[in-house]
Amino acid sequence: MEWYRIRKAPLVLGHEIAGEIVETGEDVLHYKIGDRVFVSHHIPCNICHYCQRGYHTACETLHTTNYDPGGFAEYIRVPRLNVDRGVFLLPEEMSYEEGVFIEPLACVVRGQRVANLQPGQSILILGSGISGLLHLLMARSLGAGRIIATDISEYRLHAAKEFGADAVLHATEDIPACVRQINKGRLADLVIVCAGALAAFAQALKSVERGGTVLCFATTEPGVDLSVPLNEFWRNEIKLIPSYGNSPLDATIAIALIRAGRVPVRQMITHRFPLEKAGEGFQLVTEGGESLKVIIEPHS
């Protein structure tokens, strides 16, 4: 999502964070210095038309709130509204490293919730980066049936296999044909797009079974249109659903899942860097090589 970052530069990035409270405002009553917390950067108002209908990520407040200056800083300031609706105490047994997975896992929780994932469904995950792997682990914990994962990276395909995918496919293969072969003649009940390439969305439309769902978890850059076979989708009751962000409920569920060990997130951490070497971490991720989750430790 380079298009998203460039238009906001200069900017301190980072929103998958956990830390310790070192100072509180005079009106803060429910948290104290020394508390270990996860802090949401975007939070809904909970009172608007969209929030009341359950569409918290369509809330205008959610799209305009943030903390200052950003997660890749030694210290951040948390606005009043975020303190009220976006601060969560970490369980004693949860590490800060596990805490940084709360936000991305909460997004996955919401995605699979709106897609109505059901036990026994066959799943196809297009893209095996962190989002794809979290979807894999989450779907497995919910009792999904056969799970197939794709990527252009052999390293990530190996990781998907290690994390429990029943089959992995290189993204350049004939994905629909391969899925039919693996699923004994059927396509996938749920296709989750975790790659921003338009080709991945095109693959998804061709890989979903009748009565199935395509979950657009990733997105393309602005201005890109997707051609959908409307008549075919209409006749076969295929659903196309987007999912953006998460709500406080999803964050609460993510914390419980990590705490219970249902989603073993620590196994995804491949690299750790001190704050002054954050640039090396960015470079490692940008190159798309042998890395999954890169952790920045401000005080290491």
Q: Which of 28-32, 70-74, 149-153, 257-261 has the lowest mean pLDDT?
A: 70-74
For residue 108, is it within any domain? no
Q: What is the pTM for the complete model shown?
A: 0.96
For the segment 257-284, the average pLDDT, to the nearest whole number, is: 94
In a domain, 189, yes or no: yes
Same domain, 62 and 78: yes
CATH code (residue 68): 3.90.180.10
- Answer left, alpha or beta for residue 46, where phi above 0 means left and psi between -120 and 50 means alpha: left
Over the stretch 80-91, which tens digit does the pLDDT of each residue have? 999 999 999 999
Between helices 175-182 and 198-207, what is the axis angle to 10°? 40
- Judge if 251 and 238 occupy the same domain: no
The residues, any chain, with a CB within 8 Å of residue 239's CB and separated by 6 or more, are 212, 213, 214
Q: What whole-number distance in Å separates Cα of residue 149 and Cα of residue 157?
A: 7
pLDDT digits (tens, 9 = 90+) for 189-248: 999 999 999 999 999 999 999 999 999 999 999 999 999 999 999 999 999 999 999 999
Domain count, the chain: 2
Residue 142's identity, in one-letter code, is L
Indicate if the pLDDT at residue 11 is higher than 90.
Answer: no
The per-type count for the chain, helices as H runs and strands as E runs, is: 13, 11
Residue 29 lies in a domain: yes
Q: How many CA atoms lie within 13 A of 130 on its CB side?
A: 22
Residue with tokens 């909460």: 106
Are 168 and 216 found together in one domain?
Answer: yes
Question: Is a pLDDT exceeding 90 seen at residue 158?
Answer: yes
Q: Answer with the one of 197, 213, 242 that is the final residue of a domain.
A: 242
- pLDDT tops 80 at residue 183: yes
CA–CA dist 16, 72 (Å, integer)? 9
- Helix, strand or coil, per DSSP, at residue 194: coil
* Domain-located, residue 272: no
d(CA 36, CA 69): 19
Query: Has residue 209 been placed in a domain?
Result: yes
For residue 140, what are the domain limits?
A: 116-242
Note whether 254 and 238 are same-domain residues: no
Does 128 share its domain with 94?
no
Same domain, residue pair 98 and 15: yes
For the record, the structure tokens of 62 come out as: 């959610």
For residues 135 and 124, the answer to whether their CB atoms sit within 8 Å is: no
Is residue 270, in this structure, part of any structural domain at all?
A: no
pLDDT at residue 2, rounded to an integer: 77
Is the predicted pLDDT of residue 259 greater than 80, yes or no? yes
Cα–Cα distance between 203 and 229 in angstroms, integer? 13
279 lies in some domain: no
Would 269 be classed as within a structural domain? Answer: no
Q: What is the pLDDT of residues 45-104, one digit of tens each?
A: 999 999 999 999 999 999 999 999 999 899 999 999 999 999 999 999 999 999 999 999
User: Could you give the CA distance from residue 80 to residue 67 in angstroms, rounded to a whole number?
Assistant: 10
CATH, residue 204: 3.40.50.720
pLDDT of residue 299: 81
- Whether residue 126 is found in the same domain as residue 91: no
Can you tell me the distance from the alpha carbon of 293 to that of 96, in angstroms, rounded to the nearest whole number? Answer: 14
Tell me what pLDDT residue 103 has.
98
Sign of the CA dihedral with 255 first, then 259, 260, and 263 last: positive
The reply to whether 59 and 135 lie within a common domain is: no
Long-range CB pairs of 46-54, under 8 A, 24+ apart, other chains included: 46/85, 46/248
